[in-house]
Amino acid sequence: MTIHITNLDKYRYVCGLFWQSLSRPRELEREAVDLGRKIDADLMVVRMDHTTAQAGFAQTRDGARPGMYSLAAVVSRTMASEGAFYDGEQQPVHNWLGAFKLPDGCWVYFAVRDANFLPNGDFAGSREEVLERLQSDYALGGWNVVVGEEELRAFGFHNFQMREIRSFIPQKADGSLRAQRRAALRRIGGRLSRTHLIVAGVAVLAAGGGYAWMLHQRDLTERERELAMQLVRERILREAPAAVVVRPWDKRPAPPALARACMQAFRHPTAGGWQLESYTCTQKQSVHAWRRGESSVAMLRDRVPDVDVEPSGERANYVQPLQLPTSPAEDLLDRRRALEPVLSHMQMMGVPIKVTAVPVPVVHTDPPPPPQSWRGYSFSLQNGGVEPQEIARLLDRPGIRVDRMVYQGSQWTMEGTIYAE
């Protein structure tokens, strides 16, 4: 087992455990101990999320020690308790991928399917190794969310949510991390004492072949892990629908339709005397966010009965679902004809715009997915005094989609993607 140990505050966390599902609800401990003995592990942790249970195994000879905390167990517990926002609502999440940078410079990767860690779904390595695994598993499809560092946003993952690794670990009032005892590694019960192990080891080595036997056991474990991962991949591919080319600009509203709906929903800039912090609008919902200022909760509630007020009474938000018509199917323009007219219009109107090429994901699957014939270019602009509907009219071109509109500090920001051949 290849493990990685890292420090977060004063606690030591271990990554790279070998996870196995448990199937005997009344005998989880005994089942975990039996499995650990079969794979020659001497440390374990048991996790239970939703309706599933798994045991994660490690070996002291690889550097793991009792009392170290499984980072995977901590993160999965938080994901299970908090859920995630996707498909327009906060809900439980059973299929997710995560990639995070650790304080020591390494990256950690988690892959959870049906609330269970995949055989290679608890891994730490270099940034390149982690991103390669992330993109490879993502191509299998069926994930509720992808969570991780802000730089992952550029890959265009569906339902991506930015989070850092510390946000998953409970914290004390002073902001320091709080240990989760349930996630601590412990020795597998009923094993030989250290003295017996030494005596037995000397006897085996004296007979010859002891070290070779240990290597053989380790090789067996690695082969079992790879075989299990291959079986999971094959099952996912069998259950997945036939590969189709998904065009991300299809089934999304044209810029004028989104701008019109967002402006119509922008009805409460100063509701009940509360000060608007931000207004965010996407094709699925609009969100007003206020701070109290000199007003009161009662005055806000009188204007917006369905408002969600924080327990402190100092901030509140109002979420309104939206339903927008989708634009008809359309063919793309080449890069020059797609980008340059937009840039020229914005430059002539004095509207600052930033355009960045979106990296094409590198996918390693068998069979490979259909080739992608387009490129994406993300853009962000501020209206500079020009009405958002007017900007949306200029963006009403083939392959241009606005992802969200934000009003903050008397300024409108529009973010989206330009797709081109």
Of 34-38, 59-63, 200-204, 293-297, which gets the smallest average pLDDT?
A: 200-204
**17 and 152 together in one domain:** yes
Instruction: Give me the number of domains the chain comprises.
Output: 4
**17 and 97 together in one domain:** yes
User: Around Cβ 11, how many Cβ atoms within 10 Å?
Assistant: 20
pLDDT grade for 173, boundaries at 50, 70 and 90: confident
Long-range contacts of residues 175-181, Cβ cutoff 8 Å, at least 24 apart: 176/9, 177/8, 177/9, 177/10, 177/11, 179/11, 179/69, 180/69, 180/73, 180/74, 180/77
Of 3-17, 320-334, 380-394, which gets the smallest average pLDDT?
A: 320-334
Residue 38 resides in a domain? yes
For the segment 45-90, what is each residue's pLDDT rounded down to a tens digit? 999 876 788 999 999 999 999 999 999 999 999 999 888 888 777 8
**65 and 171 together in one domain:** yes
Domain boundary among 291, 321, 351: 321
Residue 249 resides in a domain? no
**36 and 141 together in one domain:** yes
**85 and 210 together in one domain:** no
Give the domain range for residue 316: 255-321
Instruction: Kindly report the CATH number assigned to the domain that includes residue 397.
Output: 3.30.70
Give the position of tokens 């592990």. Answer: 41
**342 and 374 together in one domain:** yes
Domain boundary among 295, 321, 347: 321
**392 and 280 together in one domain:** no
> What is the number of residues in the chain?
421
For the segment 282-298, what is each residue's pLDDT rounded down to a tens digit? 998 999 999 998 999 99
**304 and 340 together in one domain:** no
| CA 155 – CA 67 distance, rounded (Å) | 37
**298 and 367 together in one domain:** no
**112 and 151 together in one domain:** yes
For the segment 311-366, what is each residue's pLDDT rounded down to a tens digit? 999 999 999 999 888 888 788 999 999 999 999 999 999 999 999 988 776 555 55
**182 and 204 together in one domain:** no
Name the more confident of 175 and 370.
175
